[in-house]
Structures are given as structure tokens and as C-alpha cells.
Amino acid sequence: MENLPQAGAVTLDAIYAAAAVLVPHIRRTPLLHSEALSDATGYEVWLKAENLQRTGSFKVRGALAKIARLSADERRRGLVAASAGNHAQGVAFAAQQYGVACTIVMPETAPLTKITATRRLGAEVLLSGQTYDEAYTYAVRLAEQRGAVFVHPFDDPQVIAGQGTLGLEILEQMPDLEAVLVPVGGGGLIAGIATVLDALKPDVRLLGVQASGAAAFAPSLAAGRPVELARATTIADGIRVLRPGDLTVQLCRGRVHEVLEVPDEDIADAIVQLLEREKLVVEGAGAVGVAALLSGRVRLRPGARVVAILSGGNIDINLVARIIEHGLTKAGRYLVVRTVVDDRPGQLLRLLEPLAAMRVNIISIEHHRAGTRVPVDQSLVTLHLETRDPEHCREIIAALQARGYDVSVQ
């Protein structure tokens, strides 16, 4: 850290000072005990619901802490930031609170919900590049051209201090916790929490969790400097960065006990679990801690008191729909079958009779004569079915095959 004098600015006192600034503007989000996750994992699992925070994410903490400390001249010059969505809304909200003009550069692939929400908060939104890193490059250049203040999403001591206030809240709400799972992208959140735990509760096991398709943090810690990925692909857009911060890596070295990776499949499962069992809407980045727990990647003593941070809830509703359908299909609760029937009156009814006898709920039927490669005297039928479990799916397929249908499952 001797090469990064800014690291010395991220202290426990700085985080307490940030917490005092945030009080009028943010919510003290609940720490929720999850019986379902506790039963599934063998730990006592608690969820820090930052998805219920103002703007739907923890990012507002760092943005407010940064903007509150700006001079009158800096505020007059305005703000520029780059973000995939959550930092954008945090900066826009903070700028609105302090009456400061701001421009947010977002990648063209940013979820529409996050773009719309940022504009509603009064920010000018510009789209540039396909990734956060491309948007970041453009935003830095734009800030220089305008003489504006650039608000970094994670590699800034005041931003990190703001994110660290989440660690203070968790300790106040659960002083005897044993481990905390923190989503990791650029590293601002885990750097702030690491600073708090190192000073107040060093025996707490600090576990970072990153998406497998954007896993730059673990190798960066090992190297002692940021390691840049060639590409990053994950549904967890909030942590989809190619390179963590110089400052965040230095602050986390020796303080983060382990960094876990979870694939998108596990992240999607966690989103569905949180929605169905906990009644919480959580985005991919916010669900990675729960994904690590459910997939068995977390190794602690049985019954350990664990906090998983749900860092945000700003997920595109269309992605939610796809994830739910995918999750139901995996769980055997949604089945799509395709077969061919003779193109004669009564043949569709014959196909559906065994389904009615098995009390299968038919969601939709697609019946095609034209535009298919089946013989001219036949029709292609696709059935979307609501089912109970995998065994029910097998029974349905067997019943249709027993009637002579050649069934394929989509």
C-alpha cells in the first residue's frame, strides 16, 4: 500500500464519518433470517437486503459519501460517471440530493430498467461501448473535456468509505456473526467491509464471491495488482468488470480470506430461490452469495452464523421471466414437448386426452401446418405444460409415447 497513498484515507474513522453523512439520505436495510437457506445449507443464514435500499442498491452509499465531500467549485463543474446501472442510479440520486448536474455513461448493453431509472433521477445518460470498461474509457475522456468531477464506481477512497458503512450496519445488527459473503466486481464494497472488519471484528471470515465469467479479483489478489481479463460474460451485470481497482486490491490483500466463483447457472438458481422462498427480487450480482451457499462452495463449521449481502435488486423484468422459466424447467415444473399428429379432425383432442386424465395444466398449444418440415398430411404440435416434478414429466412423456407419439422435449 506504500505505492498508493490513497489507501491511507480509507480508515475506520473515514467510514464512521461517511455513515454520519448518509443518515438523512439512505435506508437502514433489514437483516433477514432465512429459514429456507439455513435448512438447505446447515448454517444460520441471514440476508442483508440492500436490494431494498434507495435506488435498489448499495451503490448509493459510496456516491453520497463522495459527493457530500465535494467543494462548491467541484459541484459547480458537475459530475461524470460510468456504470452498468447501479452506480449510475446512486450518482444520479446523490447529485439530485445536492443539486449537482451529472452525466452518466452506460454501456449499450445496460438493462433498460437501469437506464430508465437513471434518467428519471435527472441525470443525462449517454450510451457508449458494449462493456462497462468501454463506457468507463469514454466517461473519463468526457470528464476531462468538460472539466467535470469523475466519480469512480469503486476505486476511490471516499466511495469505498461509503460502501464500508454497510459493514458497520451489519455488525450493529449482528455483532456475533462468523462470516460474511460479499459480491465482488471492482472491489469497492468488499474493500470497505474489509476495512471495518479488520478494525472491529478481525475474526469474522470475509468471503468474496464473483461470477465465473468475470473472475478477475482472485488472481488480482494473488498477483498483488489488478489483473485484466480479456473478456467478461455473466448475467450478473453489476459485477461484470474486466479489471478491479488498484486501491481495492491493495485494501483487500491480507484481509479477504477467500474469493469464491459461481457460474451463471447457480446465480440463476439463487435468483429463483430468493424470489420464491424469500419473496425478494434480487439481481444477479446480488444473488452470488446465496449461489455460493446453495452450491456448497462455502466451507464453515456447521451452524455458523453467515450473512450474505444482497447487494442490489435492479434486474430487468425480461431477464427475470427467462430465469424463472429456466429454473422451473430444471426443477421439473415446466415441460415443453413437441410431437406430430395426423392432420385430421379429432387428432388434437386425442393427443390431449391422456394429459387431461393426468390433470396436467396446459399453458399453451402451438399447432402448425405451414412452414414446417413434416409431411403434408400431418401437423406439428408444441405443448407448454405446467408439471409437479421430474417424475411427473417422465409420466407425461411415457403416456404420450404409449399412444404412439414420437415426443421430443425442448
Q: What is the pLDDT of residue 4?
A: 55
Q: Model pTM?
A: 0.87
The pLDDT value recorded for residue 1 is: 38
Same domain, 215 and 308: yes
Q: Based on the fold, state whether residues 298 and 404 are members of the same structural domain.
A: no
Residue 301: CATH number of its domain: 3.40.50.1100
pLDDT category, 2, cuts 50, 70, 90?
Answer: very low
Fill in the DSSP letter of residue 111. -
How is 260-329 classified by DSSP, letter by letter?
A: EEE-HHHHHHHHHHHHHHS-----HHHHHHHHHHHTT-----TT-EEEEEE-B----HHHHHHHHHHHHH
Q: What is the pLDDT of residues 89-115, one digit of tens each?
A: 999 999 999 999 999 999 998 878 889
What percent of the chain lies above the pLDDT cut of 90?
A: 81
Note whether 176 and 298 are same-domain residues. Answer: yes
Q: Are residues 186 and 292 in the same domain?
A: yes
State the CATH number of the domain containing residue 336.
3.30.70.260
User: Which of 270, 294, 326 corresponds to the end of one domain?
Assistant: 326
User: Which residue range is the domain that position 133 belongs to?
Assistant: 60-150
Same structural domain, 309 and 339: no
pLDDT of residue 324: 87
Last residue of a domain, one of 293, 310, 326: 326
Looking at the fold, whether 362 and 397 belong to one and the same domain comes out as: yes
Is 59 noted as a catalytic residue in this protein?
yes
**408 forms bridges with which residues in the sheet?**
338
- Which of these is catalytic: 59, 83, 114, 379? 59
Determine the average pLDDT of the residues in 108-137. 89
| pLDDT above 70 (res 246) | yes
| Digit-coded pLDDT (tens) for 291-330 | 999 999 999 999 999 999 999 999 988 899 899 888 888 8
Looking at the structure, do residues 123 and 235 belong to the same domain, yes or no? no
- Which residue among 280, 309, 326 closes a domain? 326
The proportion of the chain whose per-residue pLDDT surpasses 70, expressed as a percent, equals: 98
Q: Are residues 105 and 88 in the same domain?
A: yes
> DSSP string spanning 80-107?
EEE-SSHHHHHHHHHHHHHT--EEEEE-
Residue 67 in this model has a pLDDT that exceeds 80: yes
Active site residue 295: no
pLDDT of 372: 64
138 and 248 housed in the same domain? no
Both 181 and 298 in one domain: the answer is: yes
How many separate domains does the chain show?
A: 3
Same domain, 173 and 275: yes
Express each pLDDT in 159-209 by its tens digit: 999 999 999 999 999 999 999 999 999 999 999 999 999 999 999 999 999
Identified catalytic residue from 34, 57, 311, 379: 311
Q: Are residues 134 and 162 in the same domain?
A: no
